[in-house]
Homo-oligomer: A and B are copies of this chain.
Amino acid sequence: MADDRTFNAWAYKPLTKMQLTLREWTEDCVELDITHCGICGSDVHTMDSGWGPTEYPCVVGHEIVGVVKKVGKNVTKVKVGDRAGVGAQCNSCRECKNCLEGSENLCMKGIVGTYNARWENGDKTYGGYADRWRGDYRFVFKVPDNMSSAIACTFFCAGVTTYAPLKRCNVNSSSVVGVMGLGGLGHYGVKWAKAMGAKVIGMSHNDKKREIALELGCDEYLNTSDKEAFGAYRRQMTHILCTGTGRDFDWVTYLSLIVVNGHFINISIPEWNFPEINPFVFFSTQVFISGSAIGSPAEIEDMLEFASVHDVEPWIQTYKMDDVVKAIEDFRAGKPRFRIVLEN
């Protein structure tokens, strides 16, 4: 049977329905009939060429879940009929030190993005605003049976980006986790930290998110414009997960909220740099500052298991895939509470 590589996608730019060609089939491939795809801020940045030039036509979407339609001979981790997903990374070099040590998400030759990148054979990678996806099994994961596909898809980027560093930094029932920024990522941060047993402090730069923070499960709320309110939290948080910050960020103020040997974890990508650090700040706080890049395949597996066991349920809003233009408009307007999922 001839390999049917034609698929339907919403491709940019502008966002238009068109037919494109899936990558060449190999025995390492998995093909999905896409049922769901989350909308990530990266999709919009890439459509806008915000992180460098985008090679059009580009099919974005890297929170993909679908039903496995076809697997190559080398594939054992999923089988036809399974629900499976793929996140922001679809390949790595498999040879560098980081890949060999299980940190494929930090591949030293650069990760292969699920869109706007190239497979090793030169074929373009295409994301999930489409009806089909095809790619290497190494970055495809079975969705746990007790998890809806609409929920599951969002775990593959927003989920693991927030889960991996909290897990890595040992958030547990003794932890007090401040979550800076309560948008798409922050809301996952709250959900994970609560499921890990921590006390959670929602943090945002005004009072608009206070109510929804508590509704999400935050135990307390800190308006970061209210400098007086900081006093009560001095050296109280074991972790801060920074998912968003303003230009007025300063190290002393935020690190002073964190306990000795606690963690400041940045996963936000502001359009500006984090400020200079006075060397005395390192001494006087004794806090670990780090960041995190999506998550490795092992971390994705671990997250899916954790979410399944702890029934972690992010708040999502679904749109029909054919309403993607409207969905992106709403996304740009900051309307999602907290993640938009496109459904075929």
Contact = CB atoms under 8 A, between A and B. Distances in A.
Interface stretch (A191-199, A278-286, A300-308): A278-286
A100 to B, nearest CB: 11
B266 A270 contact: no
Interface string A85-103: 0000000000001100101
A289 interface: yes
B279 A276 contact: no
Interface string A197-219: 00000000000000000000000
Contacts of A276: 273-276
Contacts of A269: 279-280, 283
Interface in A218-249: 234-236
A134 B274 CA distance: 45
Interface stretch (A7-15, A22-30, A145-153, A290-298): A290-298
Contact of A290 (B259, B273, B288): B288
B279 A286 contact: no
Nearest to A264: B289
Given A97-B235, A106-B260, A277-B273, A290 B289 contact: yes
Interface residues of A, number: 39
B284 A106 contact: yes
Contacts of A259: 97, 101
A317 interface: no
A253 interface: no
B291 A285 contact: yes
B288 A293 contact: no
A108 interface: yes
A137 to B, nearest CB: 23
B279 A270 contact: yes
A71 interface: no
A268 interface: yes
Interface in A251-266: 259-261, 266
Contact of A286 (B97, B236, B260, B291): B291
A339 B235 CA distance: 35
A287 interface: yes
Nearest to A292: B286
A168 interface: yes
Given A108-B235, A260-B101, A286 B277 contact: no
B290 A279 contact: no
Contacts of A235: 97-98, 108
A80 to B, nearest CB: 35
B283 A292 contact: yes
Nearest 7 Cβ contacts at the A-B interface: A282-B291, A273-B276, A283-B293, A274-B277, A289-B289, A103-B260, A288-B288
Given A106-B286, A282-B290, 12 more contacts: A97-B235, A97-B259, A108-B235, A267-B282, A268-B279, A269-B279, A273-B276, A273-B277, A274-B278, A275-B276, A277-B277, A289-B289
18 contacts: A97-B235, A103-B286, A106-B260, A106-B284, A108-B234, A267-B283, A268-B279, A269-B283, A273-B278, A274-B276, A274-B278, A276-B276, A282-B290, A282-B291, A286-B290, A286-B292, A287-B290, A289-B290
